[in-house]
Amino acid sequence: MKITLKVWRQKGPSDKGRLVSYVVDDVSPDMSFLEMLDVLNERLILTGDDPVAFDHDCREGICGMCSMVIDGTPHGPQRATTTCQLHMRHYKDGDTITIEPWRAAPFPVVKDLVVDRSAFDRIIQAGGFISVPAGSAPDAHSMPVAKNDADDAFDAATCIGCGACVAACPNGSAALFTGAKITHLGLLPQGQPERMARAKAMVEQMDAEGFGGCTNTGECVAVCPKGISLDVIGRMNADFLKSSK
Amino acid sequence: MNRIVDYTVGEPIRDAKAPTGPIEDRWETRKFKARLVNPANKRKLHVIVVGTGLAGGSAAATLGELGYRVTSFCYQDSPRRAHSIAAQGGINAAKNYRGDGDSIYRLFYDTVKGGDFRARESNVYRLAQVSVNIIDQAVAQGVPFAREYGGLLDTRSFGGAQVSRTFYARGQTGQQLLLGAYAALERQIAAGNVTMNTRHEMLELIVSDGRARGIVVRDMVSGEVETHLADAVVLATGGYGNVFFLSTNAKGCNTTAIWRAHQKGAMFANPCYTQIHPTCIPVSGEYQSKLTLMSESLRNDGRVWVPLAKGDARAPGDIPEDERDYYLERIYPAFGNLVPRDIASRAAKNVCDEGRGVGPGGLGVYLDFADAIERLGRDAVEEKYGNLFEMYERITGEDPYRQPMRIYPAVHYTMGGLWVDYDLQSTVPGLFVIGEANFSDHGANRLGASALMQGLADGYFVLPATIGDYLADAHRFDPVDDVAVAEAEISVRTKINRLLSINGTRTPDSFHRELGRIMWEFCGMERTEESLNKALELIPSLREEFWRDVKVSGTAEELNQVLEKAGRVADFFDLAELMCVDALHRTESCGGHFRAESQDADGEALRDDEHFAYVAAWEWSDQGPILHKEDLEYEYVTMTQRSYK
Ligand SMILES: Cc1cc2nc3c(=O)[nH]c(=O)nc-3n(C[C@H](O)[C@H](O)[C@H](O)COP(=O)(O)OP(=O)(O)OC[C@H]3O[C@@H](n4cnc5c(N)ncnc54)[C@H](O)[C@@H]3O)c2cc1C
Ligand code: FES
């Protein structure tokens, strides 16, 4: 297949950036989206052009590194699929695809499609943990956990921290990401002692980083590659309210 | 013609520093004898930890909790993205929560045997002991392991083990364990005990007065070359499977950190021990950039087969039962589809070599769930494997509920790594190596679900207990030698400039692909004297071409992914050569290392304990590698040939 790409090129944080068109011939339907970009980059290197910088690592949908807005949708058209797991068989010969970085003030562009997501790490630093130094834990069976709670906690814990939720949200809110961690730890008995303090600290950090407020548009869950549920935001808000009482 | 690397034999390694006495007391003995550092002094001691996977993340967090000053590095944009995140299946621990006869001793025994008698008994016993604490630690951190209705932890049997000792969190065990370690690490960062440097790549080790005292890194965003000094350096940089280009590792996994340390005096042990995983999605084309693992657990219910006749091009559903060869069930009736990884991989290669493989290029075998779906119902199969089936369909566009999966072996894990003693210290004092980056516990073959166990054992429990003994002397260390620092920095800059100045006609990736093909063909699943000699001819000439004709675009002072790649490929060349030398010198077959010349009448791997019951630790020298042998003695487990028939 022959595909035309319009790719966001931006040299650095202070550069204005623009869309540049490239044509990639010989795209095979079995290629992954990133493999198609590899092919483009190999060509750009040889012609002495600057290849497109993009983040990626595991290429199996779990590290959360890949991050592209494809035709206006973070991670592209397939539901519950990261960019690296998107395959070209979903496109046809002659298609034009626009590729842009995550766009949100707290995620400044580093170069081309690469953005800085360290704000997420700082939200975790604020309280996204259970304080238990190595070697101080009691036997794992000393605290049974109801299967439902464990399963629900797991569902929230599968968040890969990619940031698609923020990129999709008209307000640039990080509520789904933050709520997922608060829910994961808050559902478990181990997470109770720090639960309210955690919710307060994480929400405050989220605001301090400049993420917008959540107005329940639900765009985040539509693009979340791991299917995190909107319920986590409700839970975050409830815990936050209780913590501020 | 290129000269084939010669090696020389140096002094044997006589003491790996494990305490003597009953095996169950050795770790206690070591901990008791290790000197302690008083809390006030710890704050003055500075430790560098490179890598934030299960090993490095847990180590940095724990050292921070203990009060050391820690600086941590990773090449991704967040410590949470280390490749440990991708581990699917589970983590072993000798909890015996099922009462099915498991014990520390049995896990120890299984690991020594599974490693084909090429691991140290003392280390493996300690690993089995510590495994129990890992589960406690992870649960207390909030790792949401699978549970049963009574609220207790669920376990499963994994990779052919006869007991159910594998703890898991659906198909995302590595992710959940890593997020636990990451959370602990972030907590220490917030507390000011750990300074984190993401998007930084280690490019050189600084050795001063014979001690590891720091590293040189490149800030991957600004391109700045930085020096960081410390009292000790810990490498937790993962495995080097990407030397094969295609593997189940992440794209960024590399050997650079450990290779640099090797060139600075750290011995490299058993580089040729590579694990090839039998159940991966086959290559679909030339552009293929990585391979995806399909969890081993699929072999619990899937049946592996190929057509009986060569070149049978019919769709799988059109091939009648009596024209199929369920070859694992046929050759290994006792274990059937559950034989260990190395055996399953080689069997797949054999049937494909016979011309009976399926799919593109005939490089695939079927993994068929039709019987399981009929027996258990589609819902039950979906409940167990739903996410894996989805992943398969996403990648191949084929629906495994309706037609069998196609699978093929792929490089997955490297048992070799930097040599370490019982304290996890390398041959460079002050340089500690943990996780997949060291060679320590798996011998010639790693059992499923044991890498996560080892990484966390090293990081949470072993290293934090042993490093203090070394640091207790830190007040006597000389100041770091400026010349050593300058030399390390210059070597980094020189290499970067050289790569940028070649301006040739081939990309780093094209060289990497070609190197990978050489390694896969000649130093892969089956190795012979001839194939290895061939590889040792091809690698140097390709490396020479690389240094003459590689094209690296851009500059050093910016985010430059081509430059990063080129640096990694350069180191893979050197490592590849050492792997082939090691594989050539070890004329026996053992574990993941299969030398075609050394097999029994049934085609099974044949060890040669008389000549090869040792760890091969290679010292780097510009005259060619020097082999130091560390003899392995078995006091507890009797050496036997594995049999899965
Ligand atoms: C797909 C897959 C599935 C697996 N499933 C299982 C399983 O079910 N059970 C099991 O026990 N094992 C499994 N394994 C093996 C196991 O996951 C790994 O062996 C283990 O996680 C390695 O952990 P680590 O901490 O040593 O290294 P990694 O997790 O690989 O971490 C390496 C770290 O080093 C950093 N780094 C590397 N090089 C540099 C450099 N030059 N400069 C700076 N930083 C650097 C990286 O940024 C990263 O932070 C699996 C492996 C794969 C690939
Ligand atoms: S590259 Fe890891 S999730 Fe896409």
CA distance linking residue A124 with residue A131, whole number of Å: 13
A196 occurs within a structural domain: yes
CB distance A33 to A39 below 8 Å = no
Binding site membership of A84 for ligand 2 (Cβ less than 6 Å): yes
A137 occurs within a structural domain: no
- Torsion, Cα A46 A50 A51 A52, to 10 degrees, reads -160
Among A25, A91, A114, A132, most B C-beta atoms within 10 A, so best to mutate, is: A132
In this structure, what token pair is assigned to residue B251?
């794209």
| Chain B residues lying within 8 Å of A185, measured CB to CB | 142
Tokens 């190596």 sit on residue? B433
Kindly give, in sequence order, each residue whose CB lies less than 8 Å from that of residue A38, ignoring residues fewer than 6 positions away: B287, B289, B509
A138 occurs within a structural domain: no
Residues in chain B: 645
Q: Name the residue of B75, B179, B197, B275 to mutate for ligand 1: max ligand atoms within 8 A of Cβ.
A: B75
Q: List the beta bridge partners of residue A19.
A: A8
Residues in chain A: 245
DSSP reduced 3-state for A237? helix
Domain check: are A235 and A126 in the same one?
yes
Q: Which of B150, B460, B559 sits opposite A144 (nearest CB)?
A: B150
CA distance linking residue B203 with residue B491, whole number of Å: 9
**First vs last Cα of chain B: how many Å apart?**
45
Q: Is B505 exposed, middle or buried, given 0-12, 13-18 or 19+ CB atoms closer than 10 A?
A: exposed
Domain check: are A236 and A176 in the same one?
yes
DSSP per residue, A86-108: -BGGGS-TT-EEEEE----TTS-
A139 occurs within a structural domain: no
Rounded to the nearest angstrom, the distance between the alpha carbon of B75 and the centre of ligand 1 is: 12
| A 140-179 near B (Cβ less than 8 A) | 140-141, 143-147, 150-151, 153-154, 157-158, 160-161
Q: pLDDT tens digits, residue range A194-240? A: 999 999 999 999 999 999 999 999 999 999 999 999 999 999 999 99
CB distance B66 to B42 below 8 Å = yes
**Number of the ligand closest to the Cα of B233:** 1
- Asked if A34's CB is within 8 angstroms of B287's CB, the reply is no
CB distance B227 to B214 below 8 Å = yes
Q: Which DSSP symbol is given to B14?
A: -
The residue in chain A having the minimum alpha-carbon distance to the alpha carbon of residue B290 is A59
pLDDT of residue A245: 76
Shortest-distance atom of ligand 1 to CA B174: 17
DSSP reduced 3-state for B279? strand
A34 occurs within a structural domain: yes
Q: Which of B78, B136, B251 sits opposite A56 (nearest CB)?
A: B251
**Domains of chain B and CATH, by start:** 277-412 (3.90.700.10), 483-612 (1.20.58.100)
CA distance linking residue B513 with residue B117, whole number of Å: 33
A27 occurs within a structural domain: yes
Rounded to the nearest angstrom, the distance between the alpha carbon of B512 and the centre of ligand 1 is: 20
| A 84-103 near B (Cβ less than 8 A) | 85, 87, 89
- Asked if B394's CB is within 8 angstroms of A85's CB, the reply is yes
Rounded to the nearest angstrom, the distance between the alpha carbon of A77 and the centre of ligand 1 is: 30
In this structure, what token pair is assigned to residue B263?
């060139």
CB distance A99 to A7 below 8 Å = yes
DSSP reduced 3-state for B296? helix
Domain check: are A7 and A65 in the same one?
yes
In what side-by-side order are the strands of the sheet with B324-325? B274-280, B405-414, B365-368, B303-307, B324-325
- Single-letter amino acid code for the residue at A30: D
Give B264 to chain A, closest Cα distance, Å: 28
Among A10, A32, A62, A109, most B C-beta atoms within 10 A, so best to mutate, is: A62
Interchain CB contact of A45 with B (< 8 Å):
yes
Give B417 to chain A, closest Cα distance, Å: 21
Domain check: are A34 and A93 in the same one?
yes
CA distance linking residue B58 with residue B45, whole number of Å: 18
Interchain CB contact of A48 with B (< 8 Å):
yes
Among A60, A90, A188, most B C-beta atoms within 10 A, so best to mutate, is: A60
Range of the domain at A152: 117-131+144-243
Query: Model-level pTM?
Result: 0.98
Closest CA to B464 of B56, B11, B145, B1: B56
CA distance linking residue B642 with residue B531, whole number of Å: 26
Among A84, A91, A120, A124, most B C-beta atoms within 10 A, so best to mutate, is: A124
The alpha carbon dihedral of B345, B346, B352, B356 has a sign of negative
| Chain B residues lying within 8 Å of A62, measured CB to CB | 85-86, 172, 175
CA distance linking residue B470 with residue B120, whole number of Å: 22
CA distance linking residue B307 with residue B319, whole number of Å: 7
- How many other β-carbons are positioned within 10 Å of the β-carbon of residue B39? 9
Helix (H) or strand (E) holding B548: helix B529-549
CA distance linking residue A153 with residue A186, whole number of Å: 8
pLDDT of residue B4: 54
Binding site membership of A65 for ligand 2 (Cβ less than 6 Å): yes
Domain check: are A103 and A156 in the same one?
no
CB distance B257 to B497 below 8 Å = no
Q: List the beta bridge partners of residue A9.
A: A18
Interchain CB contact of A42 with B (< 8 Å):
yes
How many domains is chain A partitioned into structurally?
2
Domain check: are A73 and A166 in the same one?
no
Q: Assess whether B341 carries a catalytic annotation.
A: yes
Interchain CB contact of B502 with A (< 8 Å):
no
Q: Which segments of chain B have a pLDDT < 50?
A: 1-3
CATH number of the domain where residue A14 is located: 3.10.20.30
Domain check: are A168 and A237 in the same one?
yes
A148 occurs within a structural domain: yes
Binding site membership of B436 for ligand 1 (Cβ less than 6 Å): yes
Q: Whole-number mean pLDDT of chain A? A: 97
Domain check: are A121 and A23 in the same one?
no
CATH number of the domain where residue A227 is located: 1.10.1060.10
- Asked if B142's CB is within 8 angstroms of A184's CB, the reply is yes
Binding site membership of A64 for ligand 2 (Cβ less than 6 Å): yes
DSSP per residue, B447-493: PTT-HHHHHHIIIIIIHHHHHHHHHTTGGGSPPPPHHHHHHHHHHHH
Interchain CB contact of B198 with A (< 8 Å):
yes
Interchain CB contact of A15 with B (< 8 Å):
no
pLDDT of residue B3: 45
Kindly give, in sequence order, each residue whose CB lies less than 8 Å from that of residue B137, ignoring residues fewer than 6 positions away: A132, A134, A135, A137, B456, B460
Rounded to the nearest angstrom, the distance between the alpha carbon of A47 and the centre of ligand 1 is: 35
Domain check: are A97 and A149 in the same one?
no
Out of B341, B406, B513, B595, the active site residue is B341
pLDDT of residue B5: 65
Binding site membership of A61 for ligand 2 (Cβ less than 6 Å): yes
Domain check: are A210 and A181 in the same one?
yes
Q: pLDDT tens digits, residue range B510-548? A: 999 999 999 999 999 999 999 999 999 999 999 999 999
Binding site membership of B449 for ligand 1 (Cβ less than 6 Å): yes
User: Cα dist. B8→B191, B197, B545, B615, B631 in Å?
Assistant: 50, 40, 27, 16, 17
A173 occurs within a structural domain: yes
Domain check: are A94 and A9 in the same one?
yes
CA distance linking residue B409 with residue B136, whole number of Å: 34
CA distance linking residue B539 with residue B517, whole number of Å: 11
Nearest CA to ligand 1 atom 16: B451
Q: pLDDT tens digits, residue range A120-157? A: 999 999 999 999 999 999 999 999 999 999 999 999 99
Rounded to the nearest angstrom, the distance between the alpha carbon of B297 and the centre of ligand 1 is: 20
CB distance B158 to B448 below 8 Å = yes
Domain check: are A170 and A232 in the same one?
yes
Give A58 to chain B, closest Cα distance, Å: 4
